[in-house]
């Protein structure tokens, strides 16, 4: 189901969505459908209200906007790595199923590695897949049993971030 951002009485075309400060393009000028995103991998969302958001986010933020932030490996960016291992990894896998043949899978991998000069490189990769057949039976006002057909949707998402720190 589509979900568009509206800020301070404006419509979805007047609100700008950015990912780490980079504009996210919306097809056909109808506004970005944030309902297509899985929340996996995003660290926070910063909401900017009013026309002053144009100074922060850029042209197109007439009524405001949202900056979706992905910070490199929130769990490892300040981690201490032992001198012998030189790396650490974490993997998370999540699965979900629901009514109307709805399924979702999310997986993330994040880690850190240190170099011989004790510099650290850390990063994260996130993948998400969601689909729903969407067909469901119902009874109309005349009592006739029917099936709602062709309400299917499929979404895929890949997100990555990488960072470098000199110790």
pTM of the model: 0.54
User: What's the confidence (pLDDT) of residue 73?
Assistant: 53
User: What's the confidence (pLDDT) of residue 1?
Assistant: 62
What is the spatial distance between Cα 72 and Cα 46, in angstroms, rounded to a whole number?
Answer: 17
User: What's the confidence (pLDDT) of residue 77?
Assistant: 45
Q: In the block, which residue shows the tokens 């890949």?
A: 158
User: What's the confidence (pLDDT) of residue 50?
Assistant: 81
User: What's the confidence (pLDDT) of residue 28?
Assistant: 65
Per-10-residue mean pLDDT for the chain, 167 residues long? Answer: 76 81 74 74 82 78 83 52 62 82 84 76 83 85 87 81 75
How far from 65 is each of 19, 79, 115, CA to CA, in Å? Answer: 11, 33, 39
Contact 121, 164 (CB under 8 A): yes
- SS3 readout for 86-136: CEEEEEEEEEEEECCCEEEEEEEEEEEEECCCCCEEEEEEEEEEEEECCCE
User: What's the confidence (pLDDT) of residue 19?
Assistant: 82
């Amino acid at each position: 189901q589509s979900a568009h951002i509206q800020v301070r009485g404006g419509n979805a075309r007047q609100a700008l969505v950015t990912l780490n400060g980079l504009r996210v393009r919306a097809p056909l000028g109808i506004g970005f459908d944030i309902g297509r995103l899985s929340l996996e991998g995003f660290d926070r969302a910063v909401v900017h209200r009013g026309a002053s958001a144009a100074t922060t986010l850029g042209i197109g933020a007439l009524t405001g906007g949202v900056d979706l932030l992905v910070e490199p490996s929130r769990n490892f960016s300040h981690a201490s790595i032992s001198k012998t291992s030189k790396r650490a990894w974490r993997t998370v896998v999540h699965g979900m199923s629901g009514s109307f043949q709805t399924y979702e899978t999310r997986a993330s991998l994040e880690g850190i590695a240190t170099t011989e000069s004790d510099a650290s490189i850390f990063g994260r990769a996130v993948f998400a897949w969601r689909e729903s057949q969407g067909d469901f039976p119902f009874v109309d006002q005349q009592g006739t049993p029917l099936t709602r057909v062709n309400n299917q949707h499929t979404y895929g998402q890949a997100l990555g971030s990488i960072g470098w720190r000199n110790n």
